[in-house]
Amino acid sequence: MHASGVPFSDPSGVRLRAWLGLTPEEFYDEGRIAIAPMGFCFPGQTPDGSDLPPRKECAPAWRAALFAELPKVELVLAVGRPAQIWHLGREAGPSLGAAVADWRRLIARPGLPVVAPLPHPSWRNNVWLKRNPWFEAETAPELRRMVRALLDA
């Protein structure tokens, strides 16, 4: 994103759109989908080339105001651990893996927005995806069904 100015315009975006069952045109339709990162700035990289986590002051400064302006949020994709913690709080559990594994319960919380916890689609999570084949076998198809139902409504 920091190079192109377009979020998920790299192979991680291809993977995320496949998980969601969306074409690029659907994914980038601002009238139907909001892409709201945890921070609106690139936080830099670690010496090994991994992205640093979002800066701690960013989300509190703008996230609530942004969500207040969105007319009707029906599904939040909590992509990565910082988003899971922000949207789910203690319900995010002790780890990314625990939150993603608990997706069935988390999307069915009565009276609360639907929050689907996802791993980041980056290549850096290939090992996690390989160790957790249930994600692409069970979670991704259900996610595609939920997204399609919302977009076709």
In a domain, 51, yes or no: no
Question: Distance (Å, rounded) from C-alpha 59 to C-alpha 74?
Answer: 20
Q: Which tens digit of pLDDT belongs to each residue from 65-96?
A: 998 998 889 999 999 999 999 999 999 999 99
Q: Which tens digit of pLDDT belongs to each residue from 56-72?
A: 888 888 888 998 998 88
Q: What CATH number does the domain containing 136 carry?
A: 3.40.470.10
Of residues 87, 114, 89, the one with CA closest to residue 103: 114
The answer to whether residues 86 and 114 touch, using CB atoms and an 8 Å cutoff, is no
Domains in the chain, number: 1
Evaluate if residue 1 carries a pLDDT over 50.
Answer: no
Q: Which tens digit of pLDDT belongs to each residue from 12-44?
A: 999 999 999 999 999 999 999 999 988 877 788
pTM equals: 0.89
| pLDDT at res. 60 | 87
| pLDDT at res. 48 | 85
- At 128, which amino acid appears? W
Paired strand residues for 77: 116
In a domain, 54, yes or no: no
Evaluate if residue 2 carries a pLDDT over 70.
Answer: no
The answer to whether residues 129 and 16 touch, using CB atoms and an 8 Å cutoff, is no
In a domain, 5, yes or no: yes
Per-residue pLDDT band at 55 (split at 50, 70, 90): confident
Tokens 């377009």 label which residue?
Answer: 6
Paired strand residues for 114: 75
| pLDDT at res. 10 | 92
Q: Distance from CA of residue 43 to its chain's centroid?
A: 17
In a domain, 100, yes or no: yes
Paired strand residues for 79: 118
Evaluate if residue 3 carries a pLDDT over 70.
Answer: no
Q: Which residues contact 43 (CB under 8 A, 6 or more apart)?
A: 51, 52, 53, 54, 55
Give the range of the structural domain holding residue 106, as residue numbers without chain letter. Answer: 1-39+75-153
